[in-house]
Amino acid sequence: MTTDGPQIRAEHIGSLLRPKELTRAFRNYQANELNESEFRDIQDHAIREVVRLQQSVGLKVIGDGEFRRSSYWAHWVKAINGLDVAPALFKFHDDTGVELEFIAANCVAKLNKTAPISTKEFEFLKTTTSGIIKITMPSPSTLHFWRLDQTFEESEYSSDEEYMADLCTIYRQEIADLARLGCTYVQLDEVPLIMLANAAIREQVVEFGKNPDKLIDLYIWALNEAISARPANMTIGMHICRGNFKGKWLTQGGYETIAERVFGQVGVDVFCLEFDTERAGGFQALRFVPRGKKVVLGLISTKVPDLEDPADLCARIEEATQYVPLADLRISPQCGFASTVSGNPITLNDEVNKLQLVVDTAKKVWGEL
């Protein structure tokens, strides 16, 4: 675990709204109306602009908005031989009862990394900023849970453990490659663990023939295996997400039933946690966070345009200090603004206002960023 380096009080979770020119470029590239070089030039320009946007609101931790990705995990499928996509077993939903199906990673052969995953993203970002660069990646469980036993054929892997072990080898390779280039901050985006805290989803998992608690143990093991070779100067964060697709989610409920195991056993340095609505539960589960680890309070919603009240944010941070010292807390939006190219149902102006609110609240509470 790294404890050196600049103090961070404000950050965002990774994905940002793609500008219209970029979303159009994704469509045109898929339709073979743009070549690789033309598409990359549009991405490069959009990334330079979004770096300037982050700097303009005062953020010290900088990302590329995931502007080279069609979704937060799709680039892993493209770079790993043996991965394809297929329909997920779960669905996104909202308060009105609307449901959305989605596709998930599907294994069709033994896994083998055949192309860079995030290293080129990092190398380009280094040319645009002197700030702290954060690279995000899906957690290992993301490439398993959505399809459970349908994730792979028994002719390729005999068990979940064997499949996850090969996957974790690729994570170690990717993290080592990033470290060699100078990357010091990596964030894993984790959804299945918090889904497994939901009683209804646990019942669904049992119906699919799986033991929810054994899956939790497997995913904790995989997280630790994935980061086991990271260098001492690299910070590893983990964003625990309830799903974020066009303003909809996969699960609701607090951290309580998984908190002791996850906070106590996962060897990351930073926990980025959603606390934007009552669906996320209260702060009590933070009592299980080991002293010295950082907690990023995701208090500002990326799903709706309404701007949170600054006084309420300060009060909630004060409430969280009952369980985690103020020195170990940070603030962020609850999730990314665009886990896929289409993004959430908010405007660019809404996004900027929310990022500015993150920074302004951090200055008010800590007097620094």
Q: What pLDDT digit, counting tens, does each position of 139-160 carry?
A: 999 999 999 989 998 899 999 9
Q: Looking at the predicted structure, is the pLDDT value of residue 331 above 60?
A: yes
Domain-embedded: residue 178: yes
**Out of 44-48, 195-199, 268-272, least confident range:** 195-199
Q: Residue 1: what pLDDT?
A: 42
Q: What residues does 100 pair with on adjacent strands?
A: 92
Residue 167 lies in a domain: yes
Are 142 and 105 a contacting pair, CB within 8 Å?
A: yes
> In this structure, is residue 14 part of a structural domain?
no
Q: Is residue 3 part of a domain?
A: no
Question: Does residue 261 have a pLDDT over 60?
Answer: yes
pLDDT greater than 70 at residue 229: yes
**Res 124 pLDDT > 60:** yes
Residue 4 within a domain: no
Q: Is 5 part of any domain? A: no
User: Sorting pLDDT into bands at 50, 70 and 90, what band is 281?
Assistant: confident
Half-sphere exposure of 325 (CA within 13 A, CB side): 7
Would you place residue 256 in the very low, low, confident or very high pLDDT band (cuts 50, 70, 90)?
A: very high
Long-range pairs, 360-364, Cβ under 8 A, ≥24: 360/310, 361/10, 361/310, 361/313, 361/314, 361/317, 361/331, 362/9, 362/10, 362/330, 362/331, 363/58, 364/310, 364/314
Element (H, E) at 187: strand 185-190
**Residue 99 reports pLDDT greater than 60:** yes
Q: Which tens digit of pLDDT belongs to each residue from 8-25?
A: 999 999 999 999 999 999
What would the mean pLDDT of 152-177 be, rounded to a whole number? 96
Domain with residue 144: its CATH number is 3.20.20.210
Interatomic CA distance for residues 215 and 193, integer angstroms? 8
Count the domains in the chain.
1
Q: Is residue 40 part of a domain?
A: yes
Average pLDDT over residues 44-58: 98
CA–CA separation, 316 and 314 (whole Å): 5
Which residues touch 236 (CB under 8 Å, ≥6 apart)?
A: 186, 187, 188, 227, 230, 267, 268, 269, 270
Instruction: Report the b/e string of 165-204 with b at 16+ CB within 10 A.
Output: bbbbebbeebbebbbeeebbbbbbbbbbbbbbbbeebbeb
Please name which of 249, 262, 299, 304 lies closest in space to residue 99, comparing C-alpha atoms.
Answer: 249
Q: What is the mean pLDDT of residues 90-113?
A: 88
pLDDT at 4: 45
Report d(CA 313, CA 300) in Å as an integer: 8
Distance CA 22, CA 340 (A): 12
For residue 192, being part of any structural domain is answered with yes
pLDDT at 3: 42
Domain that includes residue 240, residue range? 20-366
Q: Using pLDDT thresholds of 50, 70 and 90, give the confidence band for residue 247.
A: confident
